């Protein structure tokens, strides 16, 4: 068996296309036009546009704390059932797709809204506002598990 020992794979113009780290893993930068081919090879899809740009799983029940996240700078507790999430890397516009959800907490009627409350529009290029309700749609409630996923373009 032969081995090929490399640290960098370069294009003929001298730019590095792939780097192999000390553990043997390669690193690559996905361009905004990177595509993947379907399982049977019939179609291709833009890979970068299909990725979630922001996600967060957080607690608002006993304290406002983040369990885990991607591209989230901060979480703000605006009051019962009302939170704001600021992103680390801004979105290109506020037309992104946002998916919200809350955990099951027994007899509570679970409701989540992406557009915020009062006069706040909720979605901006720098983050989003999220409110949750329990028992009735108009009754705010702090759930222990809340989730937001954003699909869209980064700035």
pLDDT tens by residue, the chain, 155 residues? 787 777 777 778 877 777 778 887 877 666 777 787 888 888 888 877 778 999 999 998 878 899 999 999 999 998 888 889 999 999 999 989 888 887 766 655 555 554 444 434 588 999 998 888 765 556 777 888 889 999 999 98
Whether the Cβ atoms of residue 60 and residue 142 lie closer than 8 Å to each other: yes
Distance CA 84, CA 122 (A): 8
96, part of any domain: yes
- Domain identity same for 69 and 23: no
Residue 120, pLDDT score: 45
Token pair in block for residue 129: 């506002």
- Domain identity same for 73 and 133: yes
Terminal CA-to-CA distance of the chain, rounded, Å?
A: 47
- Domain identity same for 91 and 41: no
Residue 117, pLDDT score: 42
Domain hosting residue 31, numbered range: 8-46
Residue 60, pLDDT score: 87
Distance CA 42, CA 139 (A): 49
Q: Would you say how long the chain is, in residues?
A: 155
- Domain identity same for 60 and 34: no
Token pair in block for residue 23: 């553990």
Number of domains in the chain: 2
Residue 2, pLDDT score: 81
Phi/psi of residue 33, nearest 5 degrees: -110, 15
Token pair in block for residue 54: 């922001």
Residue 118, pLDDT score: 40
- Domain identity same for 129 and 66: yes
Residue 72, pLDDT score: 97
35, part of any domain: yes
Whether the Cβ atoms of residue 30 and residue 36 lie closer than 8 Å to each other: no
- Domain identity same for 39 and 69: no
Residue 108, pLDDT score: 55
- Domain identity same for 111 and 60: yes
């Amino acid at each position: 068996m032969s081995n090929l020992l490399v640290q960098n794979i370069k294009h003929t113009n001298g730019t590095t296309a792939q780097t192999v780290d000390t553990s043997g893993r390669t690193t690559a930068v996905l361009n905004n036009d990177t595509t993947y081919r379907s399982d049977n090879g019939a179609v291709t899809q833009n890979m970068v546009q299909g990725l979630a740009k922001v996600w967060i799983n957080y607690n608002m029940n006993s304290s406002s704390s983040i369990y885990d996240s991607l591209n989230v700078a901060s979480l703000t507790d605006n009051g019962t059932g009302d939170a704001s999430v600021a992103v680390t890397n801004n979105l290109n516009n506020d037309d992104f797709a946002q998916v919200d959800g809350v955990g099951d907490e027994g007899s509570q009627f679970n409701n989540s809204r992406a557009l915020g409350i009062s006069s706040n529009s909720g979605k901006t290029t720098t983050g989003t506002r999220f409110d949750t309700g329990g028992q009735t749609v108009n009754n705010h409630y702090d759930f222990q598990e809340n989730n937001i996923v954003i699909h869209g373009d980064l700035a």
